[in-house]
Structures are given as structure tokens and as C-alpha cells.
Structure 1
Amino acid sequence: MYKFLIFAFFTLSFVNGQTKSDLFFTPSDTLHVKRKNAVILTESALGGLTLLGLNQLWYSDYERSKFHTINDNSEWFQMDKLGHTFTAYHLGRFGAQTLNWAGVSKKNQLIYGGSLGFMFLTGVEVLDGFSEEWGFSWGDFFANATGSSLYIGQELLWDEQRVTLKYSFSKSKYANLNPNKLGSSFTEQLLKDYNGQTYWLSINLYSFFNSSKIPKWLNVAVGYSADGLLYGSKELQQNFFPDQKRQRQILLSLDLDLTKVETNSTFLKQFFNVVNVIKIPFPTLQFNSNGHVTGHLVYF
């Protein structure tokens, strides 16, 4: 009997906790001033402190310079540009969705939330412009704009995200050869080792064919990655690793749109919304720029 009472107690506690969390995570139908103020204050503080921290801690290790621009569009097979696009897209998505949670109008969600990634990353780019080590990259700037535009454009056109940018990573063999550029730890490699990163355009099929019997959560994904990148430029790599070949990779796979998974739990909806930035592993075809085609039973 006591086991049943203990089970009942924890079950009721869980259900009660779920109910409270569902109420908290449920977007407001009308403008919720306290939520709006909390969102604005939190995002402003996080963005401002991050830029201040970068300026004081990261950029202070390098010589300052007059504002200058650079052209790095040919480096890293443009993987770094895709990283900018991905980040701007999801920061904009986060910004718009938090304002939606606060009951802010759709127009203001897109103006002030959807542009969050572009505004923040432009601030970082300006700091780069005053650093001797780097410089303001117009390629990065337009990549940031592309990411924000992808989110805002779909909301204006379809009132939903039919095409989502996603990310996957698997540890490569190249990071140990040049840890200064590609990262010495797993965390650094997640951000810096472009050989292990893949960026995906994940396309929801049902959104385009909603009269079909296609599952609402089934996506087709087209990925882009690279192999053999030890330095950004081909010339620099040939100086240090003359025998290492570089190649682009296009990938074709399936994916899941977790935001389309039906559940009555608002908490789970928000959880799925957060983890939906990650590409789900599936069998994948890989097309290399050297002409080779490779099949993977599971690719991540």
C-alpha cells in the first residue's frame, strides 16, 4: 500500500509540475507587459554583456587598429559563412518566439525579434573591424543578413518555417593536426573544426503537400560540409600540408521536424522547439567534389 501512495504522490507532483510549467511556457494571447519587459531586459543585458566581454577579454589580447574591412569569402570553403547564417537564423527565431511568448504583435516580433541575430552579429563584426587580427567582413555581414532574412521571409510568406537550418557534428581526424585553428578540445572543435560540421537545409514535406498522407514531421534535408580543411586558404594549407586534399561535400538525407510532433504538453513543445536545431541521424548519400558518391547507414 505504501508503495502505491509513494507512486501516487510522485505522479501527482509530476502532473502538477507539468501543469505549472505548461502555464508558464504557453504564449500569451494578448500583450503581457511583465513578460515583454523581462524579454527586453534579459536579451539586452545578455547581448550587451556578451559584446562587452568580447571587447574586454577576447579582443584585448590582440592589437587594436583603425576600422578596416577584409575579404575572406574564399576561405574555409565558405563553411564559416554558413555558420554565420545558421546563428543569425536561430537567434532571430529565438528573438521572435520569445516576443510571441510575451504576446507582442506579429509585426514587432519580426522587426525586433527576427532581426536579433543580425543586429548582435553585426556588433561582433564591428569589433572585428577594429582588431588588427581580423577585420570587418562583408561576407560575414551578408551571411548574417541571409540568416535573418530566411526566418523573417518565411514568416511573411507562409506564417511558418517550412525550411529550417540545422546542424550536425562528428569529430574529425584533422583537429589534432592543427589544433590552433581547428580546436584542441571537443567544445572548441564544435565551433572551429569545419571538417566535422555539417549545415543542413531541412525541408518539411507536408508543408508543401498538405493534401497528401506524408507525415507532418517528415523532412528531406540537403547538407553541406567539407573535408581536408586545415587552413582557411588553399595557398596557406599547401605551405604546411602540401599533400592534404580539400573537397566539398553535398549530402542528401531524411530528417524529423520535431516541432510537428503532436503533444498536449507545452513544455515538450518548447523542448522540441529548442532541440530542433540538431539534424536527426538518418541514412545519407554523400556527393564529394572529386566525383565520389558514398552511402552512410547513419550520418551525423
Structure 2
Amino acid sequence: MSRTCPNHSRRPIVLSALFLFFCFSRTQAQNVASFAYAPKRSTHQQYVFSGFSRSLLVSKPAGLPVTPAAPGIYYLKQDTIAFHQDPAATPAPLKHSFSPQRLAFVSAMMAATNWIAYHQLNDAWWQEKRGKFHFYKGYRRTRGFYDLAPGDSYCYHLDKGGHFLSAIFFTESLTSIYQWVGFSESRAETISAIVASALLLEVEIYDGFFQDWGFSLGDFAANELGVLWVLAQRRVPALQSVRLKISYDPFAPVEDDSWIKSYNAMTFWASFPVRSWLPAAAQKIWPGWLNLAFGYSTDRLRHGRLETYLAFDVNGEALIKSRALHLLPLRLLLNYVHLPLPALQLKPALRFSPLHF
């Protein structure tokens, strides 16, 4: 839903603070996961292998001491050793236990961030005339299908793409955060879905008390669909490799010095790993990190023409397979942002762009 903002300078600060908090938390979550699945090494360069029997240890150099530490566990005093692994005896991933201290820390940070965001947005957005709670019908105010019909938006509902992608980012980030706290993956997903929905619903409820806006069912639906998309991706294999992204054209006209309201500068993308769909011979040529993406945008600030695109895209998960912590910001960037790459405009006219933002 579009709105007039008397002070746009504070909004990037709030969004940046939220982004940095979630990036830090996801870094910590990945840090725990990387150590939980790594082999344990002592100060004497000893490795612990569990689930292997004596008969499966082969090519043992002469004189290599093998000391049983417990049934089925051996300390091998050498950095490398050749062995055959029994598939049925694959060691289970180590689980980190629930931490009340981490839960308290995360809860405090979430409460503080929510409080700061509310007061910043209150100064920047919620300064117009208030009234009774009501629903937003559309940009024409007096008529419309509650911001759900195509004619209720002057920008082809591109703002809903922002709501959808924000919900995805919040839900995925919160899932990593609650796994860092110590919840199981399924429970972390459930908690993150509830918390993300509540945080986004809070903004919509506040909007409902302002005369010029109102509670937008379209925004609410986009928020919930973003949350459900994350849950569906983790359960439907066909969706797991699809990434939804955004790109922003820094050279596009800006409305009222507000980059976040300039929907003509935004393009929302669905990125697909086409290599897996190609014949075996073509898969040898097509890079695994190169996706194809379908995008949509508009060519004017208001009441423009719908634009659709077909473009190349970078698959961050395939390009950066390392889980090194210093690469996490780059992986997050590639997972949520479509980089400027060649694109073919399909609508309103067929046109090739050597570099589309």
C-alpha cells in the first residue's frame, strides 16, 4: 500500500538495523551448525570416528596406535587414514541443546528492535490524522476490493512484492535464529512463522487507524503468503531451488525523494535453476550457478505499463558452496538480490537490455 511519508531519512536506518541484526543472528546460527557437524579434534591432532568397527579400518600404517575410547569409538593419532565406512553406521549429526540464555538474548533483541522500529516509523509514517479502525479499499479510497483487485493499485501491486519478500526474509532469518537458540528445525520453523506473521501484522493494524490508509487485506495476504512460501519450500522438493529476489534501478526517477515508494525502480524476480531441466549433454555446458529468472515491474511512477523480463541470474547456493562465516553476507546478497545482468524485456515490447538493474 502506498503512503506519503514526511520523513523518509529514518526508514533506511530502521531497515538497516533490522537487516544487520538478522545477519548477525544468522551468522551465529551458522557458526553453531558448522561446529556441530565438524569432526572433533584434540590438542594432539587426534580425530574421533564413531560407528566404525575394527574390521573396517584398513591400510593402517605400521605402528599407528589405535586406542579404543569406548565401544565403537577410536582415537586415531594421525591426520589422515584410509578406511571404509559402513553406510549403516554413519554417525548422526551432533545436536546442540536448548539454551535459555540465548532465548533471553534473542527475545530482548527482538523486543528492543521492535520498540525502536515502532518509534522511528511513528515519526516517519504515523503522523497523519487518525480515526476509527477501517479497511483500505485501494488508491481510489472510496471504492475497490480492499486492495486485492488489479484495479486497486496504481503500480500493479508491486508493493505486495515487497511485503512478500520481506516476509520470506524475516521467516528464514528467524528460523536460523531459533535453531541457534536450540530449537529443533521443525519447531524453529513454527515459531518463526508465528513471530514473523505477528511482526508484520503489527504494522498493518497500526495502518488501520489512519484515515488516509487503513488495514490492507492485500498487504496482509502478501505477508502471510511469504511466510507460507518458506514453510512450503522446506516441505515440497520442487520449490526448494526456486529463489524470489528483488533488484533496484538507481537511475530511475524517484518519487518525493522516497526510494521505497519508487516502484518503477523495482523489479521482482522468480529465479529457476534451469540446468537441472536440461538434457545431460547440455548440463555439461551450462554452469550450475547460472539461473534464469522471470521478473515484473512498471515503467512509470504511477499508472505506468506493466513490464515483464527474462534474465540471467546468479544461483548463490551453487556458486558459493563454502559455509565459511565471512562469506555469509555475500550468500545472503545473492539469495535475495538479483544482480544487474543481461535481460530480455517481453512486455510491453520486445527489447534486449545488456544490463538490467
User: With structure 1 as the length reference, what TM-score do the two structures score?
Assistant: 0.75
More helix by share: 1
Judged with a 3 Å threshold, the aligned counterparts in structure 2 of structure 1 residues 261 and 37 are, in CA distance, closer, same or farther, namely farther
Q: CA-to-partner distance for each residue in 1:207-262, whole Å, 9 max, x for gaps?
A: 667985554422211111001233xxx5xxxxxxxxxxx20001111111213334
Secondary structure of the structure 2 residue equivalent to 1:195: helix
Shift of 1:120: 1.4
Judged with a 3 Å threshold, the aligned counterparts in structure 2 of structure 1 residues 266 and 208 are, in CA distance, closer, same or farther, namely farther
2:190 matches 1:107 = no
Q: Is this contact kept in 1: 2:232–2:239, CA < 8 A?
A: no
Cα distance in structure 2, aligned partners of 1:23 and 1:130: 38
Judged with a 3 Å threshold, the aligned counterparts in structure 2 of structure 1 residues 59 and 65 are, in CA distance, closer, same or farther, namely farther
Count how many residue pairs are aligned between Structure 1 and Structure 2: 253
Q: CA-to-partner distance for each residue in 1:149-198, whole Å, 9 max, x for gaps?
A: 111110122398411111111135533xxxxxx231xxx31x11111111
Judged with a 3 Å threshold, the aligned counterparts in structure 2 of structure 1 residues 60 and 167 are, in CA distance, closer, same or farther, namely closer
Q: Which residue of 1 aligns with 2:213?
A: 134
User: With structure 2 as the length reference, what TM-score do the two structures score?
Assistant: 0.63
**Of residues 227, 242, 261 in structure 1, which corresponds to 2:319?**
261
Q: Which residue of 2 aligns with 1:285?
A: 344
Q: Is this contact kept in 2: 1:162–1:207, CA < 8 A?
A: no
Q: Which residue of 2 aligns with 1:248?
A: 306
Q: Is this contact kept in 1: 2:297–2:307, CA < 8 A?
A: yes
Q: Which residue of 1 aligns with 2:351?
A: 294
Cα distance in structure 2, aligned partners of 1:94 and 1:130: 30
**Of residues 170, 174, 196 in structure 2, which corresponds to 1:91?**
170
- For structure 1, the residue ranges without an aligned partner over 5 or more in a row are 1-20, 176-181, 235-245
Q: Which residue of 2 aligns with 1:165?
A: 244
Q: Which residue of 1 aligns with 2:41?
A: none
Judged with a 3 Å threshold, the aligned counterparts in structure 2 of structure 1 residues 91 and 183 are, in CA distance, closer, same or farther, namely farther
Aligned-pair identity (%): 25
Secondary structure of the structure 1 residue equivalent to 2:243: strand
Cα distance in structure 1, aligned partners of 2:269 and 2:300: 19
Amino acid in structure 2 at the alignment position of 1:203: F
Secondary structure of the structure 1 residue equivalent to 2:191: helix
Larger radius of gyration: 2
Secondary structure of the structure 1 residue equivalent to 2:272: strand
Secondary structure of the structure 2 residue equivalent to 1:156: coil
Shift of 1:265: 4.9
Shift of 1:37: 3.3
Shift of 1:199: 0.8
Q: Which residue of 1 aligns with 2:22?
A: none
Residue pairs, 1:17-56, within 5 angstroms: 25-27=31-33, 29-33=95-99, 34-55=101-122
2:337 matches 1:271 = no
Residue pairs, 1:205-220, within 5 angstroms: 205=274, 213=284, 215-220=287-292
Amino acid in structure 2 at the alignment position of 1:25: N
Amino acid in structure 1 at the alignment position of 2:135: T
Amino acid in structure 1 at the alignment position of 2:256: G
Q: Which residue of 2 aligns with 1:10?
A: none
Q: Is this contact kept in 1: 2:268–2:297, CA < 8 A?
A: yes
Q: Is this contact kept in 1: 2:247–2:338, CA < 8 A?
A: yes
Amino acid in structure 1 at the alignment position of 2:128: Y
Q: Is this contact kept in 2: 1:36–1:104, CA < 8 A?
A: no
Amino acid in structure 1 at the alignment position of 2:158: M
Q: Which residue of 2 aligns with 1:194?
A: 263
- For structure 2, the residue ranges without an aligned partner over 5 or more in a row are 1-26, 37-94, 139-146
